[in-house]
Structure 1
Amino acid sequence: MPIAIKMPALSPTMEEGTLAKWLVKVGDSVSSGDIMAEIETDKATMEFEAVDEGVIAHIQVEEGTEGVKVGTIIATLAEDGEEVSDVEPAGDGASAPAPAPAEKDEAPAEPAKAEPRESAEPARTPAPAASSGDRVIASPLAKRIAEQKGLDLSAIKGSGPNGRIVKADVEDAKPGAAAPAPAPSAPVPSPTPAPAPTEAQDFGIPHEVEKLSGMRKTIARRLTESKQQVPHIYLTVDIRLDALLKLRSELNAALQPQGVKLSVNDLMIKALGKSLEAVPACNVQFAGDTMLKFKRADVSVAVSIPNGLITPIVTDAGSKAVSKISTEMKDLATRAKDGKLAPEEYQGGTASLSNMGMFGIKQFEAVINPPQGMIMAIGAGDKRPYVVDDSLQIASVMSATGSFDHRAIDGADGAQLMKAFKEMIEAPLGLVA
């Protein structure tokens, strides 16, 4: 009996994906565990393994196909002993086509009910002359004259400022003037479609069209939702780095025999993790009429990859040794760039850290990665005039900006987190205690 191979759900939230590449062809034998295809989700390209044994009889979804729904039959497998030529492509069953007739039956029903309402609307329009008059802008004198002459102010075009009806307009008007007709026609042009904000307009400029990857579409959607739905509050502090840089140099010398080399970013991850533990009011997530208060700090770290941005997670960052954080981050970043992260390695996290200091960016305000409650933006450290022990000196200083979801985190709590983060970095021995 032929076996239907369906589009798998490679993560708990996956609803569709792109069948990026087939690694088998019709006639190939496969066994359980063999890699059959590469499937691109919104964040990574993952390998799809065979579960059953047999021979590929049909490939029903070509490679490169986007938006393949989870559960869609993508291929048919012939079991041992079956002739491939005799096997029919597996179908999705009667459940898929069934909704179509239902929609066709229901579709005409709606307009049928709507038509009487539409015909009733015009019948009602002339009746409320008094209420429409209340909305007309007219001078008190013009209203009195109109009342004496029995004029409908809504039928008179005003010549005053902003269309205001004045004395001269009503004195020249005659009772029974049939001018209300334009009033109903005003709403008619309203459906005129305006260009959508995302509609491309090349203005005749030479260009090329590049199709968005699934990841880029997801980034666009999620960050747009974040800025539209999450009220951001931004708090910035300047942090002296000299002590941290000195400690990093000493730790790297001690860790060299183990092949571990700490980056400044590794120490920032540790500092954010410990700061979230110290200020638990910021280690939260807004959830409608409830709040999630996390008992450990899982820090998502922004990593730039060819198709966009991904945020692998350092779990329990506040409790891990910095050497462990460094080793994990190197592995996560490498596999992120290869598209080999498992969903649980980039989905979740209680807060995020984005470091653009290596690009020379001094300060920026990061967009919160929903549904998290905050993100820390790290700028470049450089030599600046800085007051140290009441005297002006040259110090290595960086700016850090926290973006907070103001629905869940008050400004005072955000300020406490920024203060804790600054203190952790300026007195960094606590990071290795």
Structure 2
Amino acid sequence: MAIELKMPALSPTMEEGTLAKWLVKEGDTVASGDILAEIETDKATMEFEAVDEGVISKILVAEGTDGVKVGTPIALIGGEGEEAAPAAAPKAAPAPAPKAEAAPAPAAPTPAPVETPAAPAQPAAAPAPKGEGERVKASPLARKLAQAQGIDLSTLTGSGPGGRIVRADLGQAAGGAAAQPQAAAAPSAAAAAPAPAAAPAQPFSTDIPHEAVKLSNMRKTIARRLSEAKRDIPHIYLTVDVRLDALLKLRGELNAGLAGRKIKLSVNDLLIKALGVALEAVPECNVSFTPDQLIMYKRADVSVAVSIPGGLITPIVTDAASKSVSKISQEITELAGRAKEGKLQPHEYQGGTASLSNMGMFGIKQFDAVINPPQAMILAVGAGEKRPWVTGDELSVATVMSITGSFDHRAIDGADGARLMKTLKELIENPLGLVA
């Protein structure tokens, strides 16, 4: 019997995606774990893996198709020599040709069996399998993702063959689990609905030579979320100038000591650590705002803005305050590399309690970053440069950078934001506290 391959939910918030590229064709034999296609979500282009083995008997959705809803059949997979038709064959079997005349008679008794199919509700509610996690049927990929996202497989009902739990089932479960942290974004999305109504004014027209580039799902999502953030979140901006000389000296000493391990720390690595420590020191800023609750996090997970082809993504350094700077450096290097290849898993870029965006490498002196909801703050880091610096009554030259915190004023008072910026300044100017 042919098995339907459905558009997977590759992130908790994914509702539709673009089938960017098929990596198999009709007639190809595939095994569990083989890469079947590349799917563009609202965050990245991700690989779709097979969970069953068989032959691709029919491709239902052509590559390049936009707006494919999660759960939509995109291909059929069957056994050796099996074609797409067998999917419909079982329905035709109950009415063989010799009983063609008797067909009307069975039509009457059919209502009785029709209610029997409603019985699937019983297996779904059957508590027996739930108590025995090791007996839960799930694909290897589903087990791996469930462990990473903290989802109990015994609470799910599988949609795969024989009731097996597959990745699409995890997407639905993760969507429910993510409801609370994403609660702040939900009302914004609803409020954004009227905005497109004003958009269909007139098609763009110009006499200037140009090229029209189709918007990717990622770019559409960036546009929508940034519009919501600036429209719905009352931003307050607080800037401080920070002397970097002590931090640069410590970085040089640490890199000399880490050379044998082939680890090279960046200023950004130290700033991620500093932000994590500061958020734990000022927990009033490590929060998310929802319409009826203030979510106060017990851990500082720092999202780091990384530029990738076609947009921006924010891989997360979890528990940044508790990790060594060398560990943070290794993690962010590995995460940023996979982000640029489009290979991050959803739990590696969705969530976080605050963000850091560094444009100092481009020579940007100071800027105001847009908050990434449902987070309530983001730190914008400018370039370090030689500036006049007054120490006591003496004028000297120091390496100074400007850092600006953007705060959601609904959740964070100005005084609390100022305390966070003061704490950050102290940590950066006296950086031994970051390695103590």
TM over 0.5: yes
d(CA) in 1 for partners of 2:85 and 2:200?
51
Measured after TM superposition, the shift of residue 208 of structure 1 is: 1.1
**For residues 13 and 53 of structure 1, do their structure 2 counterparts lie closer, same or farther at Cα, with a shift above 3 Å needed?**
same
Whether 2:385 is the aligned partner of 1:376: answer no
Equivalent residue, structure 2, for 1:69: 69
d(CA) in 2 for partners of 1:360 and 1:412?
30
CA shift digits 1:46-100 (9 cap, x unpaired): 1111122221111110011111100000011123453467666999xxxxxxxxx
Whether 2:6 is the aligned partner of 1:6: answer yes
Cα contact 2:2–2:86 (8 A) shared by 1: no
Equivalent residue, structure 2, for 1:223: 226
Aligned residue for 2:390, secondary structure, equals strand
Cα contact 1:351–1:372 (8 A) shared by 2: yes
Measured after TM superposition, the shift of residue 203 of structure 1 is: 3.2
d(CA) in 2 for partners of 1:79 and 1:253?
59
Amino acid at match of 2:205: D
**For residues 358 and 82 of structure 1, do their structure 2 counterparts lie closer, same or farther at Cα, with a shift above 3 Å needed?**
same
Equivalent residue, structure 2, for 1:407: 410
CA shift digits 1:330-362 (9 cap, x unpaired): 001100000000000000000000000000000
Cα contact 1:282–1:417 (8 A) shared by 2: yes
**For residues 58 and 81 of structure 1, do their structure 2 counterparts lie closer, same or farther at Cα, with a shift above 3 Å needed?**
closer
Cα contact 1:57–1:89 (8 A) shared by 2: no
Measured after TM superposition, the shift of residue 372 of structure 1 is: 0.2
Cα contact 1:58–1:89 (8 A) shared by 2: no
Equivalent residue, structure 1, for 2:318: 315
Q: Percent identity?
A: 73
Structure 2 counterparts to residues 34-433 of structure 1, below 5 A = 34-80=34-80, 82-83=82-83, 196=199, 201-433=204-436
d(CA) in 1 for partners of 2:393 and 2:203?
56
d(CA) in 2 for partners of 1:90 and 1:292?
52
Equivalent residue, structure 2, for 1:102: none
d(CA) in 1 for partners of 2:415 and 2:198?
42
Cα contact 2:57–2:82 (8 A) shared by 1: no
Aligned residue for 2:242, secondary structure, equals strand
Cα contact 1:270–1:322 (8 A) shared by 2: yes
Measured after TM superposition, the shift of residue 389 of structure 1 is: 2.9
- TM-score between the two structures when normalised by the length of structure 1: 0.74
**For residues 30 and 90 of structure 1, do their structure 2 counterparts lie closer, same or farther at Cα, with a shift above 3 Å needed?**
farther
Tell me the matched-pair count: 331
CA shift digits 1:202-226 (9 cap, x unpaired): 3322211000111111100000000
CA shift digits 1:353-404 (9 cap, x unpaired): 0000000000000000011000000000100001123211100000000000
Amino acid at match of 2:46: M
CA shift digits 1:222-281 (9 cap, x unpaired): 000000000000000000000000000000000000110000000000000000010000
Cα contact 1:75–1:90 (8 A) shared by 2: no
Amino acid at match of 1:72: T
d(CA) in 1 for partners of 2:89 and 2:52?
17
Q: Greater shift after overlay, 199-208 or 409-418?
A: 199-208
**For residues 89 and 47 of structure 1, do their structure 2 counterparts lie closer, same or farther at Cα, with a shift above 3 Å needed?**
farther
Aligned residue for 1:9, secondary structure, equals coil
Aligned residue for 2:399, secondary structure, equals strand
**For residues 73 and 83 of structure 1, do their structure 2 counterparts lie closer, same or farther at Cα, with a shift above 3 Å needed?**
closer
d(CA) in 2 for partners of 1:89 and 1:75?
17
Measured after TM superposition, the shift of residue 314 of structure 1 is: 0.3
**For residues 89 and 59 of structure 1, do their structure 2 counterparts lie closer, same or farther at Cα, with a shift above 3 Å needed?**
farther
**For residues 90 and 45 of structure 1, do their structure 2 counterparts lie closer, same or farther at Cα, with a shift above 3 Å needed?**
farther
d(CA) in 2 for partners of 1:197 and 1:68?
23
* Structure with larger Rg: 1
Computed over aligned residues only, the root mean square deviation of the Cα atoms, in angstroms, reads 1.9
Equivalent residue, structure 2, for 1:146: none
**For residues 405 and 21 of structure 1, do their structure 2 counterparts lie closer, same or farther at Cα, with a shift above 3 Å needed?**
same
Residue ranges of structure 1 left out of the alignment (5+ in a row)? 92-193
d(CA) in 1 for partners of 2:19 and 2:58?
15
Measured after TM superposition, the shift of residue 198 of structure 1 is: 8.0
**For residues 47 and 87 of structure 1, do their structure 2 counterparts lie closer, same or farther at Cα, with a shift above 3 Å needed?**
same
d(CA) in 2 for partners of 1:321 and 1:236?
27
CA shift digits 1:122-167 (9 cap, x unpaired): xxxxxxxxxxxxxxxxxxxxxxxxxxxxxxxxxxxxxxxxxxxxxx
Aligned residue for 1:237, secondary structure, equals strand
Amino acid at match of 1:415: A
d(CA) in 2 for partners of 1:330 and 1:214?
25
d(CA) in 1 for partners of 2:9 and 2:90?
19
